[in-house]
Structure 1
């Protein structure tokens, strides 16, 4: 009951504020939406992450934590999703190390050991671009909103050295996510439009404009899309929508993993694709 009531209380608060100021209500709602409540590194995760060479990439707002497991093969960049961190790749990194890949992983802004308090796909995309420009990965593997941010930056700044791209549980349309947030909390359309105006003001796009399915059209790399029908976070239909816009796409429906897709079945499919 508490878990169901708290989002509705937020929505009631946003709606009340919107009576006086649409902009302020939108700012409050966007702030709550953009604040990750999980994803910081837990003590048990440090043992594995300490096996990497750690670096910090300085940004305008602090730093991004990088992890490097050195190998002699092609470079792979790993991009995690919402409320996660680089530890989520542990069971993929271990078999990749056996194949001697050169592995880079990052903690997103406000996640893991990176600094920051708020997060969104555009902010994430800027940091992904910096890391790609630094390490020139031939392969990128990204999960959930990390997949959306990766595709967005690639549409704006294509990297010719990118050969293969793996997108796990990636959402196709940002408005689906935001409408889901609206249903969860119960805020009104005035609040929604307040958020939309702020996103356009600060990032130059409206909610309805930010669509992975549109961003993939100019990607030349081979792409593997993995999704599960049991995904309760991102619609399974997103995979087909994204695949339709790609030049060279392979799709795989996982029987395990739900949204996390963090299972041996998925690892096997990624390794086969690579």
Structure 2
């Protein structure tokens, strides 16, 4: 029904059809906090920072060690890091996680990788972390913003299940919803006018070429959300990176072997 409506609207105005397609694409269907998730996140010190169209929720588990920032992905929230936060706490790290725009307890109704990248830049410059760990679209947005704003105080990056090409995501959206090539082309033009790039130009591997920070990339062949073929191009583009292929965990990568590999990388 969405595809039919986008196609019909584009007969009257291609720009309006594309604008609606982008709006629908940018609204998360889930990712707000449940009571169980709130209960765990209440163990952190909470604060909010202002950003564009509202407030961003931050969670802080204080430690005496290096500061780690955690950035989740699409339709998720800071609770997804529970499996990793507890082992990191045992190591004494100073841990900060956020809820992305339109997710968790943060304000907003729409989410894009570019918008998220701006939030990530703001939080990085506020806390000056030694380590950044990011998942899925959070990883893509982290690489993008770091290619635009090099932060020399970041010593290590950990990227989990990162997508590579935005084009793959948008082609999947087109196929799922069923809008035609004219809507897709106008959607491409709209992104160029809004953000300065065409869909095929937004590629994690391209942005990664400018990053010299030591990085660990983790992916799983069982990932049905972001295929593992995204891993190698990003790894090859990052000058100082290593990879770990987890046979378990799928896209979430919530497994003991992943946690162990992350901690080993941080302590090396």
TM-score band, normalised by shorter chain:
over 0.9
Structure 1 outlier segments of 4+, above 2 Å = none
CA–CA separation in structure 2 for the residues paired with 1:262 and 1:11: 34
SS of equivalent to 2:108: coil
SS of equivalent to 1:36: coil
CA–CA separation in structure 2 for the residues paired with 1:257 and 1:213: 23
Calculate the TM-score normalised by the size of structure 1. 0.96
Deviates more, 1:137-146 or 1:194-203: 194-203
- String of CA shifts for 1:154-195, please: whole Å, max 9, x gaps: 000000011110000001110011001111111111111121
- String of CA shifts for 1:103-134, please: whole Å, max 9, x gaps: 01010000000000000000000010010001
Please point out which of 167, 175, 179 is paired with 2:167. 175
Calculate the TM-score normalised by the size of structure 2. 0.98
SS of equivalent to 1:19: helix
Please point out which of 100, 104, 107 is paired with 1:108. 100
Structure 1 residue 99 displacement after superposition: 0.3
Aligned positions of 1:153-232 closer than 5 A: 153-232=145-224
**RMSD in angstroms over aligned alpha carbons?**
0.8
The answer as to 2:38 corresponding to 1:64 is no
Structure 1 residue 20 displacement after superposition: 1.6
SS of equivalent to 1:224: strand
Structure 1 residue 47 displacement after superposition: 1.4
- Structure 2 gaps of 5+ residues are none
Structure 1 residue 264 displacement after superposition: 1.5
CA–CA separation in structure 2 for the residues paired with 1:263 and 1:190: 43
CA–CA separation in structure 1 for the residues paired with 2:208 and 2:252: 22
Please point out which of 248, 253, 258 is paired with 1:266. 258
The answer as to 2:126 corresponding to 1:145 is no
CA–CA separation in structure 2 for the residues paired with 1:250 and 1:140: 15
- String of CA shifts for 1:34-85, please: whole Å, max 9, x gaps: 0001000100111110011101011121110011101000000000000000
CA–CA separation in structure 2 for the residues paired with 1:199 and 1:63: 25
Structure 1 residue 208 displacement after superposition: 1.1
CA–CA separation in structure 2 for the residues paired with 1:194 and 1:41: 35
Residue 245 of structure 2: aligned partner: 253
- Count of aligned positions: 266
CA–CA separation in structure 2 for the residues paired with 1:194 and 1:40: 31
Deviates more, 1:88-97 or 1:259-268: 259-268
Residue 91 of structure 1: aligned partner: 83
Residue 15 of structure 1: aligned partner: 7
Residue 79 of structure 1: aligned partner: 71
Aligned positions of 1:112-127 closer than 5 A: 112-127=104-119
